[in-house]
Amino acid sequence: MTEPAAEAFTETRAGRQRLVLADCLTGMASLEAGSIDVVVTSPPYNIGIRYGQHHDRLPREAYLDWMDQVAAGIARVLAPEGSLFLNVGGTGVDPWIPMDVAGAFRRHLVLQNDIAWIKSISLGDETRGHFKPVNSHRFLNNTHEKVFHFSKSGAVPLDRLAAGVPYMEKSNVTRWEGAGRDRRCAGNSWFVPYMTVRSKRQKFDHPAGFPLELPERCLKLHGGQDLMVMDPFLGAGTTLLAAERAGHRGIGFEIDPAYLQAALQRLD
């Protein structure tokens, strides 16, 4: 496949990855239609996060209108058998954010899988993972976010077993997997904890990155080799790092030069 073009912008390369300092709408508009196999991304949630450049508190209508334009841009560059993994979370006072954003994307793509990203879970008396506690009489601590898997047809074949798990009960291996492969689909609840960090630097000086395992899982689930991966909201480059480690090519857009620099350092 030929490389999509984005030459008009300041671009840095690291391995197979292209990091582009540009607004994602203009950046995506420069790419060839259908040239991207997998998008793994997390847009700003419009909840007042203090980013370096982006103002994260737009009127809801303007925010959703922007998300609609982003969805149209992604739908145009996505290959017919491509996948978009869209991570969005809500807050106690505004739990509708992920659903509203998914509603904007629904106008352009088909929701194929609705994945819950579990950041922390209590099983009996034992708690695993991390979350930011909320001090409230009304709201529970928020321990999950959404990862919406969109595609063009809603019927893109996935490599469920590559992203799968071994059977707990081994007698099920022969019962469910005729050939006896000890692997089953892991389902649509993904426990992916944040690593324990003690400084902003360990979070790559970015206020809202996701853990590396999240894009890694998405790429495995989509399956295939030498994919063209895109993250229109690159941040500190987690998606492109996952792409590089898996041997895929990638392109990311980011408006903030400091975050782009952090992404570059992680990839170097």
Ligand X SMILES: C[S@@+](CC[C@H](N)C(=O)[O-])C[C@H]1O[C@@H](n2cnc3c(N)ncnc32)[C@H](O)[C@@H]1O
Binding residues for ligand X, rule: CB under 6 A, are: 23-24, 42, 44, 51, 53-54, 206, 208-210, 233, 235-236, 238, 253-256, 259
Residue nearest to ligand X (CB): 235
Closer by beta carbon to ligand X, 156 or else 214: 214
CB of 72: closest distance to ligand X in angstroms? Answer: 14
Residue 23 CB, nearest approach to ligand X (Å): 4
Q: How far is the CB of 81 from ligand X (least distance, A)?
A: 24
Look up residue 201 and give its DSSP letter. Answer: G
CA atoms within 13 A on the CB side of 2: 7
Structure tokens at 214: 């999240």
147 within 8 A of 189, measured Cβ to Cβ: no
Tokens of 168: 């707990």
Residue number with CB closer to ligand X (132 or 170): 132
Give kind and range of the element (H or E) at residue 111: strand 110-118
Other Cβ atoms less than 10 A from the Cβ of 185: the count is: 12
* 53 versus 153: smaller Cβ distance to ligand X: 53
**What's the sign of the alpha-carbon dihedral 2, 156, 39, 68?**
positive
Whichever of 163 and 204 has its CB closer to ligand X, that residue is 204
Query: With respect to ligand X, which residue has the nearer C-beta, 221 or 260?
Result: 260
Smallest separation, CB 37 to ligand X (Å) = 18
